[in-house]
Amino acid sequence: MSSNANAGIDAGRGRFVTFEGGEGAGKSTQARLLAAALAEVGVDAATTREPGGSKTAERLREALLSGLVEPLGPAAEALVFAAARIDHVDHLIRPALASGRWVICDRFVDSTRAYQGALGNVDPSLIAALEKTAVGDCRPDLTLILDLPPETGLARAARRRGPGAVDRFEKQGPEFHEQLRRAFLAIARAEPERCAIVDADTDEATLAREIWSVVTRKLRPLRWLAARGEGAMGA
Ligand code: TYD
């Protein structure tokens, strides 16, 4: 290995990983497992979620998931998701990345593109403008799209919840979830450098191994550590 093998790696900044996909795909579990796997090799990662992740954004989450904003329509929902994202990026994501932490986020801008854009028919130029305002240059380095048949995801989500309330988006019918799946796959196809589709129709451990192999291949955590002068050169 040449001595400048790490040249060009910006190791001053952490890496930003997002999980996306339909309901019950296992995003939050896999986000936790990825953070634990990174911790084992010495990479400090914050796990967070959207909507929410910071104080004000968590309050906006309640408004969004309770259905309070729903009567105002998908464009208004997109505005409130974006408002929550501004708070989250400013108070958690950007400072963490700047300090050299990795950030693993359960849902991010692709959920707005899919739910409000593709399914809610919100004008793509509005979605793009909100994204630019809320996120700026704080874009994910890697987005893992957890893909599975909607029936499997909805059955898992129902088991997790137990009998009782479904939220604003879980209550939609099967056609909605089929379209949602197609929307996420289209996003992945449009940005293959950033996005990886992972088959989530499997057990937790198998999925975690697949995710780890994508993360090591695309983001090279050991090389990133070495470029910071922390840890041995490797994957
Ligand atoms: P959550 O309970 O976190 O769902 P899940 O476990 O499926 O991630 O609820 C988040 C819901 O909000 C989910 O149905 C997707 C939706 N959502 C949007 O519609 N737009 C967005 O920009 C985001 C971040 C989420």
Segment holding 198, helix H or strand E: strand 195-199
Q: Name the average pLDDT for the chain.
A: 92
> What is the pairing mode between strands 102-106 and 142-147?
unpaired
At residue 57 the predicted structure's pLDDT band, cuts being 50, 70 and 90, is very high
CA nearest to 183, candidates 168, 201, 197: 197
Q: In the predicted model, what is the mean pLDDT of residues 38-43?
A: 98
- Tell how far the Cα of 111 is from the centroid of ligand 1, in angstroms: 7
Which pLDDT does position 11 carry in this prediction?
A: 82
Is residue 197's pLDDT more than 70?
yes
- Domain 13-227 in CATH 3.40.50.20? The answer is no
The answer to whether residues 202 and 104 touch, using CB atoms and an 8 Å cutoff, is no
Percentage of the chain beyond pLDDT 90 is 79
Digit-coded pLDDT (tens) for 140-185? 999 999 999 998 888 888 888 776 666 766 777 888 999 999 999 9
Which pLDDT does position 164 carry in this prediction?
A: 66
Digit-coded pLDDT (tens) for 115-129? 999 999 999 999 999
- Ligand 1 pocket residue status of 19, Cβ below 6 Å: no
Is residue 108's pLDDT more than 60?
yes
Is residue 4's pLDDT more than 60?
no
Which pLDDT does position 156 carry in this prediction?
A: 85
Give me 128's structure tokens. Answer: 């793009």
- Ligand 1 pocket residue status of 51, Cβ below 6 Å: yes
Residue with the larger pLDDT of the pair 158 and 81: 81
Residue with the larger pLDDT of the pair 232 and 136: 136
Enumerate the domain spans of the chain. 13-227
Q: Residue 133 forms beta bridges with which residues? A: none
Q: How far apart are CA 230 and CA 235, in angstroms?
A: 14
Q: In the predicted model, what is the mean pLDDT of residues 181-207?
A: 97
Assign residue 26 a region: left if phi > 0, alpha if psi is -120 to 50, beta otherwise?
A: left
At residue 5 the predicted structure's pLDDT band, cuts being 50, 70 and 90, is low
Percentage of the chain beyond pLDDT 70 is 91
Is residue 3's pLDDT more than 60?
no
- Ligand 1 pocket residue status of 22, Cβ below 6 Å: no
- Ligand 1 pocket residue status of 81, Cβ below 6 Å: yes
Is residue 7's pLDDT more than 70?
no
CA nearest to 158, candidates 145, 167, 146, 148: 167
Which pLDDT does position 1 carry in this prediction?
A: 42
Contacts of 82 by beta carbon, 8 Å cutoff, 6+ apart? 112, 130, 131, 133, 134
Q: In the predicted model, what is the mean pLDDT of residues 196-208?
A: 97
Q: In the predicted model, what is the mean pLDDT of residues 38-66?
A: 98
3-state secondary structure of 167: coil
- Ligand 1 pocket residue status of 61, Cβ below 6 Å: no
* CA-proximal residue: ligand 1, atom 13 (nearest): 169
Backbone angles phi, psi at 192, to 5 degrees: -65, -20
Q: Which of 50-54, 75-79, 150-154 has the lowest mean pLDDT?
A: 150-154
> What is the pairing mode between strands 16-21 and 142-147?
parallel
In the chain, the amino acid numbered 187 is I
